[in-house]
Structure 1
Amino acid sequence: MKISIVTISFNQAKYLRRCIESVLNQNFKNIEYIVVDPGSTDGSREIIESYGSSIIKIFEKDKGPADGLNIGFSKATGDIFCYLNSDDEFIDGALALVEKYFLDKNHVDVLCGHGHVIDGGSDYKRRIFSDSFSLKAAAYGASLAIQPSTFFRKEIYRSIGGFNIENRSNWDDELLIDMALKGAEIEVVNEFLSCYRVHGESITGTGRLESMHHTHTRQMFLKIMRRPYTGYDDYFSQYYRIMKHIKNPIATFERIIHGPIFGTQK
């Protein structure tokens, strides 16, 4: 079983080498690693070039992150797909575990694991957890999947046509919802697979897309429920959020102790 990983890189030289080596140093060797760079000017391309044939390099302009990912996956030939942001990292042994899971569970289309939050200096900060997925919970913004710990079969990705390139804030969330609407079987594995970096320049760290995130949640509600969000839905939203915390008490404890991830930094 081959795993194809796409990294989109744009001016993240500070973290890029750690990202790349977290892929290439896995104890799982049947990896196809594709790095897409639309025009970095901070030395990132020189770092990418230094890995020679270990990486499939795509240096071309794109229409944003979602489009860059689609370009990368258009070259992918693996059985399982994943995308790793250029400031994130895999945990040692993650890919071998993912392969075993998909081999053991032929009915599963999408696998979501958990992650560790690290800061700009690569220091451990806290744990983050994927929630059990349901479309109803996703409609009310109460179903979180840890993006760098999410893997999916090639067939389900191809069946939905990839990422929505118009989505500039939550393209990963919409991809999962589109897969679920297509009938994908989504499961959560109780394993930590990646390190999710939150720093002063990251989208999560700055919270600069918070208003776009609100708009996105309303759009996803309409896509899933096939009707606009109304005031009455506030009650259902509260219900699904409460149930989320009840179902995953460890994640709830982490949030109580450390606060929300979005909008925080080192």
Structure 2
Amino acid sequence: MKPASVAAIVVSFNRRALLQECIEALLAQTWPLDAIFVVDNGSNDGSREYLAAVEAKHDRVVVFLTESNIGGAGGFATGLRAAAAKGFDWYWLMDDDAEPMPDALEKLMVSDDAARAGVVALCGSVRGIDRRTQLWHQGTFDERMRLIAPTAEHHAAASFKTDYMSFVGACIRDDAVRRVGFPSQEYFLWNDDVEYTARLSRIGELRCVTASHMTHKDGENRDLTESRRSLRAWFTSRRMPAATQWKYACGLRNYVHMVFRHRGPAPIWAASLFARRLARVLVFGDRRLSVILLYVRYFEQAVGRRQFDTVRPTDWKKTLGES
């Protein structure tokens, strides 16, 4: 029987060194990829020159250059649409800071889960640069659609069922893409992967194949808790600088919108969630009016009172008066 065809989709922005490591790892897979689609979100750090050289050398590499930064969500929607138009059996999605181990795709494709028609998406275990498993890349929802990460015991099994998975190695069956559509590109950043794979979980099973390994080089492990030796250290660890709030507000907006989309409207719950975040900003943040107005604006978008309109990071810097 002919091996399953797989196309990888990589989204990148201004991380040339990481992008190169990711592409080289994809080209070295023991289960050869049929195509590698790379969406570059307006990089200006030499990534585009590198991609031009790789595309000229490797027929399997197809590059899409966006005029501006359309976010991870826009990048994955663009790449997945392009790959689906060509037609493959599976689509393997990842950011540029992901590096799959040489046999990562093979472990997915030869797994018992890949052979089951009811399985619509696969992923592997994701490890940080400290080699510890990052548990938050998969998980289940509780009755209020809060995200619950798996435990180390789950990763000790050959595979386990999950309700969602991140776009750090999500491998999605072609038929499932054609049934549920594409990621919500208006999300721009964060929770686009959770929302999309939640859609997939409605039509079939999602499985994490733990023998497949991917390294995620984001530089942190959110599952580790550090003991704070002083009140000052505790306070510092919870700082919410204005410069980072464009993405945290975006993530909160997307999460609330996702819950409304999948579980139905809950305006009081949404208002309380935004209020608690604003309270944290007032206690631990820079207390700028622009930050408060951003959260109010995103609350209105999340509950459907305004159309989605994401503040880009460059525009946010200008709002704060930064270069």
- TM-score under structure 1 length normalisation: 0.73
Larger Rg: 2
Supply the distance in 2 between the matched residues of 1:132 and 1:33 (Cα, whole angstroms): 24
Identify the residue that residue 121 of structure 1 maps to in structure 2: none
Q: How does 1:171-186 map to 2 (within 5 A)?
A: 171-181=192-202, 183-186=203-206
* AA partner of residue 9 (structure 1): S
- Give 1:193-232 correspondences, 5 Å limit: 193-199=213-219, 209-228=247-266
Other-structure match for 1:66: 73
Q: Is 1:80 equivalent to 2:90 in the alignment?
A: yes
1:140 to 140, 143, 146: 146
Aligned-residue Cα RMSD (Å) equals 2.7
Higher deviation after alignment, 144-153 or 80-89:
144-153
> For residue 197 of structure 1, what is the amino acid of its counterpart?
K
The alpha-carbon deviation at position 226 of structure 1 amounts to: 1.4
Task: Give 1:117's match in structure 2, choosing from 117, 121, 128.
Answer: 128
Task: Find the counterpart in structure 2 of residue 107 from structure 1.
Answer: 118
In the alignment, what sits opposite 2:184? 164
2:138–2:166 CA contact under 8 A, matched in 1:
no
The answer to which of 145-154 and 81-90 deviates more is 145-154
Cα pair 2:99 2:214 within 8 Å, conserved: yes
Structure-1 separation of matches of 2:134 and 2:212? 9
SS at match of 1:126: coil
Counterpart residue number, 1:256:
none
CA contact (8 A) 1:113 1:146 kept: no
Q: Is the 8 A contact 1:116 1:192 kept in 2?
A: no
Q: What does the per-residue CA deviation read over 1:139-190, in whole Å, with 9 as the maximum and x for residues that have no partner?
A: 1122563432321101212222201111122211111112223x22112222
User: 1:222: Cα distance to partner?
Assistant: 2.0
Distance 1:190 1:219 in 2: 31
> How many angstroms does 1:107 deviate by?
1.7
1:95 aligns with 2:77: no
CA drift of 1:43 comes to 0.8
Structure 2 counterpart SS, 1:115: strand
SS at match of 2:105: helix
* Partner Cα distance (1:192, 1:15) in 2: 20
AA at the equivalent of 1:85: D
Secondary structure, counterpart of 2:108 in structure 1:
helix
2:19 aligned with 1:16: yes
Aligned residue identity for 2:94: L
Check conservation: 2:26, 2:33, Cα contact below 8 A: no
Of residues 133-142 and 55-64 in structure 1, the stretch that sits farther from structure 2 once superposed is 133-142
Q: Distance in 1 between matches of 2:140 and 2:219?
A: 30
Distance 1:17 1:111, change over 3 A: same
Per the normalisation by structure 2, the TM-score is 0.61
Whole-Å separation in 2 of the counterparts to 1:165 and 1:140: 22
Say whether residues 1:191 and 2:194 are aligned partners. no
Which of 129, 133, 143 is residue 135 of structure 2 equivalent to? 129
